[in-house]
Amino acid sequence: MEYQHSLEQFFYQLSALCDDQDWDNYLEQFAPDAEFHIPQWETEHKHTSDPKREMSLMYYADRGGIEDRIFRLRTGKSAASTPMPRTLHLINNVRYQEEDNGLFSARVNWVTHYYRFGESLHFFGTANYRLRRENDSWKVTYKQTILLNDKIDSVLDFYHV
């Protein structure tokens, strides 16, 4: 449990940066080659696993995908995110494991409440991360989000998960 507190604080801070729309500092938490994946459900209890061969709700091979989304948000070129919703990410049940290669795997449960067009909605699920220690903090090298309420009746973007 040596890293438990540090990881929990990292995930809380990552969530706060997203909720505050502090995009520069949010992006800084991801390694340049960080993959970002939200698989699609194949059946009621099995999701896809290979984003290069199977359908995904969202897949970015590296941080450039999130950078592009943020560019669109900042320049008003994302009609789907105008107006930008207010979000509140709740993170709990943080579990981690140290890997042999110096990386760490972590799994968290999450709920994101968001408010847009006078309506409060939410997404929830789990997220699987690979992280590496960098100085006194962490860098995300992989994030896979399993969206459990995948009946999506509005926009779904990286800031929802």
Handedness of CA 104, 142, 161, 10 (dihedral sign): positive
Determine the length of the chain. Answer: 161
Domain tally, the chain = 1
Distance (Å, whole) CA 30 – CA 141? 6
Residue 82 DSSP label: S
Query: Do 79 and 90 form a contact (C-beta atoms < 8 A)?
Result: no
Task: With cut-offs at 50, 70 and 90, classify the pLDDT of residue 120.
Answer: very high
CB within 8 A of 129, min separation 6: which ones? Answer: 105, 106, 107, 108, 140, 142, 143, 144
| Phi and psi angles of residue 9, each rounded to the nearest 5 degrees, phi first | -65, -35
Give the CATH number of the domain where residue 108 resides.
3.10.450.50
Q: Which residue has the higher pLDDT, 108 or 135?
A: 108
Distance (Å, whole) CA 84 – CA 23? 13
Interval 5-53: pLDDT, tens: 999 999 999 999 999 999 999 999 999 999 999 999 999 999 999 999 9
Distance (Å, whole) CA 140 – CA 110? 17
Task: With cut-offs at 50, 70 and 90, classify the pLDDT of residue 153.
Answer: confident
Distance (Å, whole) CA 131 – CA 139? 5
pTM of the model: 0.93
| Residue 101 structural domain | 4-160
Place of tokens 């009746």: 153
Handedness of CA 55, 15, 104, 108 (dihedral sign): negative
Question: What is the pLDDT at residue 147?
Answer: 96
Interval 64-112: pLDDT, tens: 999 999 999 999 888 778 888 999 999 999 999 999 888 999 999 999 9
> Which run of H or E residues covers position 137?
strand 137-147
Output the CA torsion 68→7→142→96 (10° steps).
-160
Residue 128 DSSP label: E
